[in-house]
């Protein structure tokens, strides 16, 4: 066994060298570019903005895709950097892509409910695309919580959706394998909404996410020290950090209903969920459905996502298991190689 | 180039030189330790190091003295230079100590010295970046902080590792000796650092806020007549102090009883006054303050419970790590490095913590803590509104009322807009249908005069319509 004093000296030596290198690299990293795929704002309502990604030539697809992202975190994670971008890949494969940016709610938006998000914002965005493109139906792709909203939307307005794609989307909240699903049982949501004055801080939700992998931070810190002399790796790391730390607050009313009706009472699966004037019946979803879930997802475990396939009225439906975690679906190398082409081809076959 | 940029570049260069110097000397030291020649060379190494260090520091001092008008820089710089000098001195002493005492008997003294200098180094490293506001972008600063924090955890674990290393070397020591050898207080500090965002380890800030809030209330309470206004907040603050747990050795049951007794005593003490005070803003404030205090007592007790289960899990995790390493050393006669220990510990504690977080007891406790803390916040907000009410400030509750009204109005406007749009579309469609009918009549009248091919082209053009138009047409037809 090595002399412990030598080991100490070695450890100190390595640490100081790397820390020093790290401060140099960080000093150079003034600009952390993220979400750089070119796009233009085509529609706006309150704080919602609809973007259309630019293409060099006309899309071979007749039906455009609207991406509905989660209200938590920001949509640009799907375009983290040019070589890790589900959106760029879809565009390269010919897709015509729109995305709905739900922005950063402030206290002014504290009363926004799920009804507003589904029946107003998503609905108006869908109508805008249909009208401007002179088409009856569009493709809807929902991510995580945005997937839940997309499913709800498709059950209310099946006549407007040609194909539905969900990625890592929680549907059956009865499974308590996921810690978030377990903890939700013991939360007094009304006290939370009231206590935070109707606007749930993104950092509050993030504290819960961090606990799902409690040692991720020390691991990350150690890995960071190991990668300090690799600028490319550092930039990858910094982009991801930027996204992780960009945490919009949540409109209290929408949060209240999402936790109470879904996490605590599982009303969507039971057919008891009411959004605005609509009782949500998943059997009304009759369009082709592609349900994508991640086998190692610790945020939205597979047992919460897969049941959608059996609950809808669609006859053309497919389950796709992605080997990886919740974020890897969008940023992993496999996502670029396999997932994006699968989605593009699936939509093309049904265009 | 601005002066801060100059400063930063100069600082990075200097830091580089200092680290190079440190690394270079460490290497030499290591070589000499291996050859048992360090004693003879220590003095020579000392002077070489010192000269280089002095040169580097003088260089930056000279460079920065030429920078114009930056008092912030000079203040940070002087602190930093001082820290560097202190660190240098400690480092040199440790070299001498290590050089002169490289025997197993003096191992603990050496490691103590070494830990002191690593701590000193970690505390001063990156200080200028943390102190100055010009660091480009918060994210960079945050990541830098993460890097420093991570290094601290790593180095602190290194401190814990040293006795464990010794423990692993010994075949005679039992697990009960581990607790004596490992500084559990330090380990708890590491755990507190790791879980500070999720587990309420530090109620200090909360307590401070509460004290400030009570101090602010004094003004509001000054109209309470018979009650000495200064005594109420002091009494509350005193009780808070009384209830604040000083150590984890305090039993949960005792704390719960204490909390209950204190609340009861407090309520009894003030109950006669409640009836005497007429309904007023002051009475409401007093009641709110007491409620906040009650919540705070409950919160503190629950927080200690939470800390207790987290720390117990962390300690068990450490024991398991050491047990597994003992087996590994005995069975495979393998060397265990610090990195191996660190990685095994991270894997183990993550597994154990996730199991803890998934337990019903944790989930309920977490729920209670969140609920109590937010109930306390709600009451405090209300109290603050009352305290601030004499000032020309719009309280949050009023802003929320305005927001609610705006929300409702927006909703109504949207509904009206939708109806209007629908009506407009229907009107357009009706006009189109009428026009079509008129055209059809005219067509019928002139059909004999129009060739069939031209008629087909005209009809084909009419089929092109927007989805909305088509839908409205179909609705109109159904009606």
* pLDDT tens readout for residues A110-151: 999 999 999 999 999 999 999 999 999 999 999 999 999 999
Q: Is B353 on the interface with A (CB under 8 A)?
A: yes
Please name the residue of chain B whose CA is at the shortest distance from the CA of residue A190.
B371
Most trustworthy range by pLDDT among A25-39, A332-346, B219-233: A332-346
pLDDT tens-digit series, residues B332-386: 666 777 778 888 888 999 999 999 999 999 999 999 999 988 888 898 889 888 8
Nearest chain B CA: its distance from A204 CA (Å): 9
Q: What pLDDT, on a 0 to 100 scale, did the predictor assign at position A300?
A: 95
Which of B151, B158, B417 would best serve as a mutation to test chain A binding (most A beta carbons within 10 A)?
B151
Q: Work out the mean pLDDT of chain A and round it to a whole number.
A: 90
d(CA A46, CA B413): 13
Cross-chain residue pair B139–A242, CB shorter than 8 Å: yes
- With CB atoms and an 8 Å threshold, state whether B12 touches A24: yes
pLDDT band at B393, cuts 50/70/90?
Answer: confident
A34 contacts A239 by C-beta, under 8 angstroms: yes
Over residues A305-315, the mean pLDDT reads 97
Nearest residue in A to B118, CA atom: A12
Residues of B in contact with A136 (CB under 8 A): 467
B167 band by pLDDT with thresholds 50, 70 and 90: confident
SS3 A161: strand
What ipTM does this complex have?
0.85
Q: B6: which residues sit within 8 A by CB, 6+ positions away?
A: B63, B64, B67
Residue B37: half-sphere exposure toward Cβ, Cα within 13 Å: 9
Q: Is B68 on the interface with A (CB under 8 A)?
A: no
B61 min Cα distance to partner chain A (Å): 20
Among A282, A349, A308, residue whose Cα is nearest residue A139: A349
Nearest 10 degrees: CA dihedral of A320, A324, A327, A331? -90
Q: Evaluate the CA torsion angle B1, B4, B7, B13 in order and state its sign.
A: negative
Beta carbons of B358 and A179 less than 8 Å apart: yes
DSSP state of B366: H
The SS3 call for residue B191 is helix
Chain B residues near residue A212 by CB distance under 8 angstroms: 354
**What's the pLDDT at B164?**
78
The number of C-beta contacts closer than 8 angstroms across A and B is 218
Per-residue pLDDT averaged across B291-315, rounded?
A: 85
Can you give A200-223 as a three-state secondary structure string?
ECHHHHHHHHHHHCCCHHHHHHHH
The model's pTM is 0.74
Catalytic status, residue A64: no
- Which residue among A144, A205, A228, A290 is the active-site one? A144
**CB burial readout B364-390, b (16+ within 10 A) else e:** ebbbbbbbbbbbbbbbbbbbbbbbeee
Closest residue in A to B34 (Cα–Cα):
A6
Model pLDDT, residue A126? 98
**Any chain A CB within 8 A of the CB of B34?**
yes
Do B143 and A26 make contact, defined as CB atoms within 8 angstroms? yes
Of B231 and B412, the structure prediction assigns the larger pLDDT to B412
* Higher pLDDT among residues B55 and A300, named by residue: A300
Mean pLDDT confidence for B32-48: 55
Q: What percent of chain B has pLDDT over 70?
A: 38
Chain A residue nearest residue B101, CA to CA:
A5
Examine the pLDDT at A46 and tell me if it is beyond 60: yes
Which residues does B20 contact at the CB level (< 8 Å), separation at least 6? Answer: none
Per-residue pLDDT of B68-105, as tens digits, reads: 544 555 555 555 556 655 665 665 566 556 555 555 45
As given in the structure block, the two tokens for residue B77 are: 């710089």
Smallest CA-to-CA distance from A192 within B400, B397, B370, B294 is with B370
B228, B222, B155: which is closest to B193 by C-alpha? Answer: B155
Name the residue among A3, A24, A111 with its Cβ closest to that of B404. A111
Residues 363-392 of B with CB under 8 A from A: 363-364, 366-368, 370-371, 373-375, 377-378, 381
- Closest residue, chain A, to B140 (C-alpha): A26
- The model's confidence at residue B211, banded by pLDDT at 50, 70 and 90, is low
Query: What are the C-alpha distances in Å from A85 to residues A7, A42, A151, B99?
Result: 42, 22, 24, 55
| Helix or strand run (H / E) with residue A16 | helix A4-28
B350 and chain A in contact, CB less than 8 A? yes
């Amino acid at each position: 066994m090595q002399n412990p004093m030598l080991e100490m000296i070695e450890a100190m030596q390595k640490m100081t060298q790397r820390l020093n290198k790290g401060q140099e690299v960080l000093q150079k990293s003034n600009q952390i570019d993220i979400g750089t795929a070119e796009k233009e704002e085509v529609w706006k309502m309150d704080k919602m903005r609809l973007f259309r990604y630019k293409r060099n030539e006309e899309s071979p697809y007749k039906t455009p895709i609207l991406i509905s992202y989660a209200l938590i975190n920001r949509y640009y994670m799907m375009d983290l950097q040019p070589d890790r971008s589900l959106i760029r890949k879809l565009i390269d494969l010919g897709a015509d892509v729109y995305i709905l940016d739900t922005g950063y709610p402030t206290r002014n938006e504290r009363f926004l409910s799920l009804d507003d998000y589904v029946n107003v914002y998503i609905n108006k965005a869908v109508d805008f695309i249909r009208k401007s493109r002179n088409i009856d139906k569009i493709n809807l792709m929902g991510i995580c919580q945005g997937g839940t909203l997309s499913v709800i939307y498709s059950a209310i307005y099946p006549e407007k959706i040609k194909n539905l794609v969900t990625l890592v989307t929680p549907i059956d909240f009865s499974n308590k394998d996921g810690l978030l699903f377990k903890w939700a049982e013991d939360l007094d949501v009304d006290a939370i909404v009231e206590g935070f004055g109707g606007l749930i801080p993104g950092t509050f939700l993030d504290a819960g996410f961090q606990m799902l992998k409690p040692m991720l931070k020390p691991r990350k810190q150690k890995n960071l020290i190991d990668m300090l002399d690799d600028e490319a790796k550092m930039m990858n790391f910094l982009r991801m950090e930027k996204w992780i730390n960009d945490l919009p607050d949540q409109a209290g009313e929408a949060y209240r209903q999402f936790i109470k009706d879904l996490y605590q009472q599982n009303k969507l699966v039971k057919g008891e969920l009411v959004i605005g004037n609509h009782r949500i019946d998943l059997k009304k979803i009759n369009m082709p459905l592609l349900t994508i879930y991640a086998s190692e997802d610790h945020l939205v475990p597979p047992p919460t996502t897969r049941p959608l396939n059996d609950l809808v009225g669609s006859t053309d439906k497919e389950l796709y298991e992605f080997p990886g975690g919740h974020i890897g679906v969008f940023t992993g190398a496999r996502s670029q190689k396999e997932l994006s082409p699968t989605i593009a081809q699936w939509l093309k076959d049904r265009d | 180039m601005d002066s801060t940029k100059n400063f930063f570049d100069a600082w990075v260069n200097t830091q580089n030189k200092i680290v190079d110097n440190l690394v270079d000397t460490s290497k030499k030291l290591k070589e000499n330790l291996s050859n048992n020649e360090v004693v003879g060379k220590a003095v020579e190494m000392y002077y070489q190091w010192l000269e280089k260090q002095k040169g580097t520091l003088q260089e930056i001092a000279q460079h920065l003295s030429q920078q114009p008008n930056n008092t912030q820089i000079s203040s940070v710089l002087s602190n930093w230079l001082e820290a560097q000098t202190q660190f240098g001195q400690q480092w040199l002493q440790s070299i001498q100590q290590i050089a002169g005492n490289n025997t197993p008997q003096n191992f603990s003294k050496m490691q103590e010295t070494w830990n002191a200098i690593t701590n000193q180094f970690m505390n001063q490293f990156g200080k200028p970046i943390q102190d100055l506001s010009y660091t480009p972008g918060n994210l960079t600063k945050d990541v830098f902080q993460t890097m420093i924090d991570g290094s601290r955890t790593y180095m602190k674990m290194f401190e814990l590792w040293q006795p464990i290393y010794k423990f692993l070397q010994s075949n005679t020591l039992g697990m009960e000796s581990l607790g004596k050898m490992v500084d559990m207080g330090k380990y708890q500090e590491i755990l507190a650092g790791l879980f500070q965002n999720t587990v309420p380890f530090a109620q200090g800030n909360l307590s401070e806020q509460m004290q400030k809030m009570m101090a602010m209330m004094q003004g509001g309470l000054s109209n309470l007549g018979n009650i000495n206004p200064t005594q109420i907040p002091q009494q509350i603050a005193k009780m808070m102090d009384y209830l604040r747990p000083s150590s984890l050795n305090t039993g949960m049951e005792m704390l719960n009883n204490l909390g209950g007794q204190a609340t009861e005593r407090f309520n009894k003490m003030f109950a006669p006054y409640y009836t005497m005070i007429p309904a007023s803003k002051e009475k409401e404030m007093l009641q709110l303050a007491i409620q906040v205090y009650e919540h705070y007592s409950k919160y503190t007790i629950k927080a200690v419970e939470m800390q207790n289960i987290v720390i117990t899990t962390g300690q068990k995790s450490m024991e398991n790590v050491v047990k597994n390493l003992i087996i590994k050393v005995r069975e495979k006669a393998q060397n265990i490095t610090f990195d191996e220990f660190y990685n095994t510990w991270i894997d183990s504690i993550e597994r154990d913590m996730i199991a803890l977080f998934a337990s019903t007891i944790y989930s309920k406790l977490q729920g209670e803590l969140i609920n109590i803390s937010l109930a306390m916040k709600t009451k405090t907000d209300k109290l603050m509104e009352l305290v601030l009410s004499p000032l020309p400030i719009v309280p949050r509750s009023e802003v929320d009322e305005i927001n609610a009204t705006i929300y409702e109005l927006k909703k109504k406007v949207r509904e009206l807009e939708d109806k209007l749009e629908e009506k407009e579309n229907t009107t357009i469609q009706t006009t189109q249908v009428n026009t079509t009918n008129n055209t059809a009549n005219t067509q019928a009248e002139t059909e004999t005069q129009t060739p069939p091919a031209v008629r087909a082209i005209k009809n084909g053009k009419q089929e092109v319509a927007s989805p909305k138009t088509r839908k409205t047409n179909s609705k109109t037809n159904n009606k």
